[in-house]
């Protein structure tokens, strides 16, 4: 997933400073293995150069001034254009979750389509993993067996969550 659009999506929800973005990413590190903190400010600078965001310096009495970034109309249009692009055939869980966090920028129909595509992708992976696990049931070592079991459980759980979520959206 393009980190640039993830930042735009965050700013579409609310203006944030680079530090705010870093804290948000740090809170999600266990879930999405977020990009390095060193990539936040260059991305913000690039978005600013492309007029997709603006920056305001907010003075604080006893603290250093904060630069607060706000998405522009051009930034919203760029974000919508990116969100409207067809999804890749095989996206990682990290990319899925990052894009899901931006679901507020999707229409209900777009969100349903996105979740249906993800469910189909996970089903394909689950079927393939079940086949591989079945073929190597006795031949694999304990570590590989545990990894297969984890993958099967994760995929089954994700499909269950996607199905329940889609039913809730209908």
State the pLDDT at residue 37. Answer: 61
Condensed to tens digits (0 to 9), the pLDDT of residues 140-159 reads 678 888 888 898 999 999 99
Q: Is residue 163 in some structural domain?
A: yes
Ranges of beta strands (E only) in the chain are 16-17, 53-58, 66-71
Edge-to-edge order in the sheet of strand 66-71: 16-17, 66-71, 53-58
Q: Is residue 92 in some structural domain?
A: no
Weakest-pLDDT range from 36-45, 73-82, 119-128? 36-45
Residue 55 and residue 116 in one domain: no
| Cα(82)–Cα(84) distance, integer angstroms | 5
Q: Is residue 100 in some structural domain?
A: no
State the pLDDT at residue 152. Answer: 92
Contact indicator for 24, 37 with CB cutoff of 8 Å: no
Condensed to tens digits (0 to 9), the pLDDT of residues 46-65 reads 999 999 999 999 988 888 88
Q: Is residue 102 in some structural domain?
A: no
State the pLDDT at residue 139. Answer: 60
Domain boundary among 86, 115, 143: 86
Report helix, strand or coil for 68.
strand
Q: Is residue 82 in some structural domain?
A: yes
Q: Is residue 125 in some structural domain?
A: yes
Q: Is residue 97 in some structural domain?
A: no
Domain boundary among 53, 86, 119: 86
Average pLDDT rounded to a whole number, residues 79-83 = 86
Q: Give one DSSP letter per residue of 123-149, joined into a string.
A: HHHHHHHHHHHHHTTTTS-HHHHHHHH
Q: Is residue 54 in some structural domain?
A: yes
CATH number at residue 39: 1.10.10.10
Q: Specify the number of domains making up the chain.
A: 2
Burial class (CB in 10 A: 0-12, 13-18, 19+), 89: exposed
Domain boundary among 52, 86, 120: 86
Domain that holds residue 161: 107-170
Residue 54 and residue 121 in one domain: no
């Amino acid at each position: 997933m393009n980190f640039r659009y993830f930042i735009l999506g965050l700013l579409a929800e609310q203006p944030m400073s680079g530090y705010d973005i870093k804290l948000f990413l740090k809170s999600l590190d266990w879930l999405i293995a977020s990009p390095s903190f060193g990539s936040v400010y260059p991305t913000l600078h690039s978005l600013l150069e492309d007029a997709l965001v603006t920056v305001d310096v907010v003075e604080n009495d006893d603290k250093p001034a904060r630069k607060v970034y706000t998405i522009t109309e051009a930034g919203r249009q760029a974000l919508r254009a990116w969100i409207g692009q067809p999804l890749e055939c095989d996206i990682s869980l990290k990319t899925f979750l990052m894009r899901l966090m931006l679901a507020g920028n999707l229409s209900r129909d777009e969100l349903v389509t996105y979740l249906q595509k993800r469910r189909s992708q996970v089903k394909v992976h689950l079927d393939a993993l079940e086949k591989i696990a079945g073929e190597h049931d006795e031949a694999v070592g304990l570590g590989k067996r545990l990894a297969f079991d984890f993958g099967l459980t994760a995929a089954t759980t994700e499909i269950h969550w996607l199905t329940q979520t889609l039913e809730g959206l209908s």
